[in-house]
Structure 1
Amino acid sequence: MSATTYPAEHTALLLVDPYNDFLAEGGKLWPLVADVAQSVGLHANLKAVIQAVRAKPLPVFIVPHHRAEPDEYAGWDHPTPYQLGASRAQVFAKDSWGGEWHPDFAPQPGDTIVKEHWGGSGFANTDLDFLLKQKRITHVILIGLIANTCIESTGRFAAELGYHVTLVRDATAAFSHEHMHAAHTLNAPSYAHQVVTTAELLAVL
């Protein structure tokens, strides 16, 4: 990697799904990601990346998942099993503690909050691409949850749209180590331009 990989005027951080349900003790999904998250030092790495990005400064885009509501898929033709399961559990439920930002990773003044995504990609049916283009962003750095769904889907979509994509392998987590391996080792080389550790990213930033 070289410093020119991340031009300051054209690089943004995408922080995906920083909700209590994912990141906080007592969150509905925390028990599923806790093992991997703790093994990679997720919280410390998220904080380190965000701190470095804000210090540079680079723009931060919060890329949130849809906040669940009861019976939200009634009448839909093709909700996915993933969507239906999340709805049954009311993951990130609207107006609930689990659907609030984790206090360590909440938006700060100047951050951009993207419209909520219904599926895995932070781009599909949202304003993320439009907002990035308004700031002339060409390079995106992805962190957050989870590696093999929303991070991978958002990264793939970004690459299809022509963005330079960086994944930070230890600033994310998944439900298993196998999912992490698949996301970063097997799948990422087909679309990501850089797959780095937090330490490697910080050395450049």
Structure 2
Amino acid sequence: MFTFTHRNPEMQLDKGHTALVLADIQNEFLSESGSYYPMIEHSLKANNVPDHIEELLRAAKEYGLPVIHSPHYYFPTDRQWVAPGGAISDYLATQISFVGRKDPVDLEGFVGSGADYPERYKKYLQDGKTANTSPHKGASARTNDLIKQLRMRRIEKVIMAGPVGNICLEGHMRDIIEEGMEVAMVRDAIAGGRNEEGDAYLAAMINYRYLANAVWTTQEAVSRMKAVATATTV
């Protein structure tokens, strides 16, 4: 019986052309006060996702890999949307308090809000070196500048993690792969919800096995980051 997992040989990192990409590292998803947090709480805890995300950030900074973060924001003018979208897009477009900001150039009310970054990650995300992209307004990078940020850095290899594995993170992964880059997903730095159809985390992992170039643990990813810091190829 034929069994397909991922490409073999597995993705190899390339010094100078590898980056860590994260999506939705925000209170709404990762803090207990966040509105989305209850939907993924079980998965965050089962995989120790918050700690693993910090491990990835710490390693990327220590070993000199670029970090690019794609946040999810909505502004009051997004209430003007009238075109139909998917279930999530329709819901979020009418619930502007979700990762909501007052205005693209006004940070009033931002600090500590659902749209803000958890305190533990701010020293990594706001160090003046991390590229925090413009917001994605749907589930993918098609509505922001993530791909441009990668291309302008000559990135060809991407390590990815984030709290919403089956929606935004998978959407970003698909966009990056379609742009001709290789992607490794960090399975225990990713979470997913559940509904009456089943487990979204499991669904994401199944799709990653078909689409991504690699599926690693945090330990594996950090080990490879360390190795690539001192070698051309690992």
- One fold, TM greater than 0.5? yes
Counterpart selection for 1:48 from 46, 55, 58: 55
Q: Once structures 1 and 2 are overlaid, which stretch shifts more, 46-55 or 75-84?
A: 75-84
SS at match of 2:189: strand
Q: 1:128 offset after TM fit, Å? A: 1.5
**2:120 maps to what in 1?**
104
CA radius of gyration, larger in: 2
**2:182 maps to what in 1?**
164
TM-score under structure 1 normalisation? 0.91
Counterpart selection for 2:91 from 76, 85, 88: 85
Q: Judge conservation of contact 1:20–1:99 (CA < 8 Å) in 2.
A: yes
Q: 1:91 offset after TM fit, Å? A: 1.0
SS at match of 1:8: coil
| 1:132-161 deviation line (CA, Å, top 9, x unaligned) | 111110011111121000111111111111
Counterpart selection for 2:21 from 3, 8, 14: 14
Q: 1:43 offset after TM fit, Å? A: 1.0
Q: Judge conservation of contact 1:70–1:87 (CA < 8 Å) in 2.
A: no
Counterpart residue identity of residue 113, structure 1: N
Q: Judge conservation of contact 2:184–2:215 (CA < 8 Å) in 1.
A: yes
SS at match of 1:147: coil
CA RMSD of aligned residues (A): 2.0
Q: Judge conservation of contact 1:144–1:171 (CA < 8 Å) in 2.
A: yes
* Cα distance, 1:39–1:72 mapped onto 2, change above 3 Å: same
**1:136 maps to what in 2?**
154
Counterpart selection for 1:183 from 183, 189, 204: 204
Q: 1:69 offset after TM fit, Å? A: 3.2
Residue 139 (structure 2) pairs with residue 120 (structure 1): yes
Structure with greater helix percent: 1
* Cα distance, 1:16–1:130 mapped onto 2, change above 3 Å: same
Unaligned runs of 5+ in 1: none
* Cα distance, 1:4–1:29 mapped onto 2, change above 3 Å: closer
Count of residue pairs brought into register by the alignment? 202
SS at match of 1:129: helix
SS at match of 1:119: coil
Unaligned runs of 5+ in 2: 1-7, 102-108, 226-234
Q: Judge conservation of contact 2:50–2:189 (CA < 8 Å) in 1.
A: yes
Q: Judge conservation of contact 1:73–1:79 (CA < 8 Å) in 2.
A: no
| 1:69-125 deviation line (CA, Å, top 9, x unaligned) | 346243432232212212333211114411111112231221111111111112x03
